[in-house]
Amino acid sequence: MTPASGAAAAAEVVMILAGLWLIWRFVVSKRGRDSRYLRLSEWRLPPLDFACFISFAFLGAAIVGTAAGYALRPLHLGVDAATVAGGAVMHGGILLGLGAFFLSFGPKARGPSSPRGAYPVLASGLVTFLIALPLVFAASSAWDLVLRRLGLPDEKQDMVDILQNSHSWLLKGSLVAVATILVPVTEETIFRAGLFRYFRTRVPRWMTIVLTSALFGALHVSWSDNLSGLPSLAPLFVLAVVFCLAYERTGRIGTTMVAHALFNLNTFILVAAGIGS
């Protein structure tokens, strides 16, 4: 074990222990249970408007993706560079589409405003990340065992493979920027501030948590490409459940965006240190 991997492993153990203490403090203990309060207000968006919310996201990705395809074609990007650029374009297009939706439909489409303040968002995001860490670690260990017993593929996600094998620091830096900035904002807006917030008051709450979390995990698996990313299915399902509960409890989508960014950054640090995938 190198000094870098040893330091990363030690830091991971400390964070997991901190996460276990926070689970006790905020979830298990009587004080934590008694102080539990759901601050997320109902999103009274008409069904047709919600359909437009989803449609604008897809249209944004399609339009920006098509334009970027023509613009980048003369560059003859390699496979890895094209993968990173494609991810950036897709998430950027989704955000532009959602921005167009909120501009077109006005303040009513946004729903009740979230509590403000940068420090509470950063603090609650850090706490959410730490709480998720031991749960995701346990889910990942159990899921890896299941995959091995069933003889299912254990191919990593493309992004992890690029980080491990690419020799371009520019490409790696671009990948980390996309994964820690664009991806958390896009995915939290779609899954938690969109799907979860809309359906939690229209169908049984537990069903909304389970189904949106399962969809979140499933969309990170390449079902048509040798099931690459399958090892992330169960861990990301657990992560999404934690994010749903954190968003519901804080009423701040910024909380899960920060936690999501920290989770992705932590994953990349572990991969770079050679102790995780």
In this predicted model, what pLDDT tens digit does every residue of 160-179 receive, in sequence order? 777 777 778 888 888 999 99
pLDDT at 262: 97
What are 66's two structure tokens?
């098509």
Determine what percent of the chain is predicted with pLDDT higher than 90: 62
When pLDDT is averaged across residues 84-93 and rounded to a whole number, the result is: 93
pLDDT at 154: 75
For 217-234, how does the pLDDT look when each residue is reduced to its tens digit (9 = 90+)? 999 988 776 777 888 999
When pLDDT is averaged across residues 4-10 and rounded to a whole number, the result is: 88
pLDDT at 244: 97
Q: What is the pTM of this model?
A: 0.93
When pLDDT is averaged across residues 247-260 and rounded to a whole number, the result is: 95
For 110-160, how does the pLDDT look when each residue is reduced to its tens digit (9 = 90+)? 888 777 777 789 999 999 999 999 999 999 999 999 999 988 877 777 677
When pLDDT is averaged across residues 21-26 and rounded to a whole number, the result is: 94
* pLDDT range class, residue 277, cuts 50, 70, 90: low
